[in-house]
């Protein structure tokens, strides 16, 4: 019985104090939200969802929410200078401001995290309209990035109070993007471990994978990375920091151009990467390319895969295997003029890892682009 009791104590100590139901939405602060929303509809196949702005009682900004399956993106732009959205885009350019997490209890999420040292961004507020109520609270994370906790169990409206339904005559077809697989943060020199501790202590995450500079270095540059996961694995945040190399780390280039720490990439899941990437490419999304020699020994390295090699090679899709299965992935070029945010498209076939076997080929491809910008 003693053993059972002990196990119970251990289990209780490890009980998830911040149960997360997944990513609720990702909000980008951008120079022109109307055009950004159009771009994400056109290029990525998102659908119009909701709008907030002066017409809905919001005076200082306009926001467009778009959706594809379980993915919700919000694009927000300032209507005047001298507000926090304007300051954010002046400093960082277009980028991710909010990684919003869906919770059962936004008041409890705020209490649990702020009592553990999280810096409050927003005390719990209840927003109401005729469709019910949404409770929102939030804490700061790296750079000027924020985690909002969204409780929407008593809400039946299209997005949240303050927004109205956005009907559009322009509805490009979807591209098979399903949900956020993970969001990666770039932090400064020697800042990876402090942020790992933040996710452990303040948010109850675990470090599930670590890559040091011997895993992630090319001839020229290096980085280190630790993957943080919440209790149920629905939310994963890898954290990168630059490492010393012969030349400038891709993480340093990001930090220079974003003017600080921030979200480097958001990985979007699909169940048919060949079809999704074919669609995205035909709509103008540009992807990083690895040399075709990458495919010469691919099957020897990863073993049997269900997909034909030819379309993978044609599109530049990468493959890696771990103990549990394999994954297919590809990375876009930066999605704005600053070399900052990009997207990953990922299809998991059992693998729960992040494509370590592709790092070298991938980072050499990133460095070729970095070199073209004169930043290597
Ligand atoms: Fe990734």
Q: Is the model's pLDDT at 193 over the cut of 80? A: yes
Q: What's the CATH code, domain 15-165?
A: 3.10.180.10
Task: Report how far ligand 1's centroid is from the alpha carbon of 333 (Å).
Answer: 13
Q: Is the model's pLDDT at 366 over the cut of 90? A: no
Q: pTM value?
A: 0.94
Average pLDDT over residues 99-115: 98
Q: Is the model's pLDDT at 9 over the cut of 70? A: no
What pLDDT was estimated at residue 10?
A: 46
What pLDDT was estimated at residue 259?
A: 98
Q: Is the model's pLDDT at 3 over the cut of 70? A: no
What pLDDT was estimated at residue 308?
A: 96
What pLDDT was estimated at residue 135?
A: 98
pLDDT tens-place string over residues 16-39:
999 999 999 999 999 999 999 999
108 close to 20: Cβ distance less than 8 angstroms:
no
Q: Is the model's pLDDT at 73 over the cut of 50? A: yes
% of the chain surpassing 70 pLDDT: 95
* C-alpha gyration radius of the chain: 21
What pLDDT was estimated at residue 14?
A: 62
Confirm whether 15-165 and 177-373 share one CATH topology. Answer: yes
Task: Report how far ligand 1's centroid is from the alpha carbon of 344 (Å).
Answer: 6
Angstrom distance (rounded) from CA 162 to CA 118: 27
Q: Where are the domains of the chain?
A: 15-165, 177-373
Strand pairing category for 222-229 and 236-243: antiparallel
For residue 365, name the pLDDT band (cuts at 50, 70, 90): confident
Task: Report how far ligand 1's centroid is from the alpha carbon of 253 (Å).
Answer: 17
Q: How far is CA 94 from CA 177, 262, 327, 355, 358, in A?
A: 22, 11, 30, 27, 28
Q: Is the model's pLDDT at 13 over the cut of 60? A: no
Task: Report how far ligand 1's centroid is from the alpha carbon of 126 (Å).
Answer: 34
Token pair of 51 as six digits: 């709008």
For residue 141, name the pLDDT band (cuts at 50, 70, 90): very high
Average pLDDT, the chain: 93
Task: Report how far ligand 1's centroid is from the alpha carbon of 354 (Å).
Answer: 6
Considering the four listed CATH numbers 3.10.180.10, 3.50.50.60, 2.40.50.140, 3.40.50.920, the one that applies to the domain covering 177-373 is 3.10.180.10
pLDDT tens-place string over residues 215-273:
777 777 788 999 999 999 999 999 999 988 888 888 999 999 999 999 999 999 999 99
Letter string b/e over residues 33-53, b meaning 16 or more CB atoms within 10 A of that residue's CB: beebbbbbbebbbbbbbbbbb
Task: Report how far ligand 1's centroid is from the alpha carbon of 233 (Å).
Answer: 15
């Amino acid at each position: 019985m003693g053993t059972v009791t002990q196990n119970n104590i251990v289990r209780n100590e490890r009980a998830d104090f911040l149960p997360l139901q997944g990513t609720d939405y990702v909000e980008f602060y951008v120079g022109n939200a109307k055009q950004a929303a159009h771009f994400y509809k056109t290029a990525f196949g998102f659908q119009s969802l909701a709008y907030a702005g002066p017409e809905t009682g919001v005076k200082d900004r306009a926001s467009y929410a778009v959706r594809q399956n379980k993915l919700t993106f919000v694009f927000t732009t300032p209507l005047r200078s001298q507000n926090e959205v304007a300051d954010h885009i002046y400093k960082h350019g277009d980028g991710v401001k909010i990684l919003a997490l869906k919770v059962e209890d936004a008041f409890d999420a705020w209490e649990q995290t702020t009592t553990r040292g999280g810096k409050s961004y927003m005390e719990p507020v209840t927003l109401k309209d005729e469709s019910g109520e949404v409770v929102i609270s939030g804490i700061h994370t790296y750079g000027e990035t924020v985690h909002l906790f969204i409780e929407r169990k008593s809400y039946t409206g299209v997005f949240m109070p303050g927004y109205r339904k956005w009907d559009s005559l322009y509805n490009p077809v979807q591209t098979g993007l399903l949900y956020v697989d993970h969001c990666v943060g770039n932090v400064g020199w020697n800042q990876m471990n402090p942020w790992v501790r933040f996710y452990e202590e303040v948010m109850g995450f675990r470090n599930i994978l670590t890559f040091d500079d011997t895993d992630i270095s090319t001839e020229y540059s290096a980085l280190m990375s630790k993957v943080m996961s919440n209790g149920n694995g629905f939310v994963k945040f890898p954290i990168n920091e630059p490492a010393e190399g012969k030349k400038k780390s891709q993480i340093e280039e990001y930090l220079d151009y974003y003017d600080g720490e921030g979200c480097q990439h958001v990985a979007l899941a699909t169940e048919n990467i060949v079809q999704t990437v074919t669609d995205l490419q035909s709509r103008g999304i540009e992807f990083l390319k690895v040399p075709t020699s990458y495919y010469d020994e691919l099957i020897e390295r990863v073993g049997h895969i269900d997909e034909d090699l030819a379309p993978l090679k044609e599109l530049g899709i990468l493959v890696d295997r771990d103990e549990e299965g394999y994954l297919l992935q590809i990375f876009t070029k930066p999605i704005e003029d600053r070399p900052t945010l990009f997207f990953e498209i990922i299809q998991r076939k059992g693998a729960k890892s992040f494509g370590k076997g592709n790092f070298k080929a991938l980072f050499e491809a990133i460095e070729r682009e970095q070199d073209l910008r004169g930043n290597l």
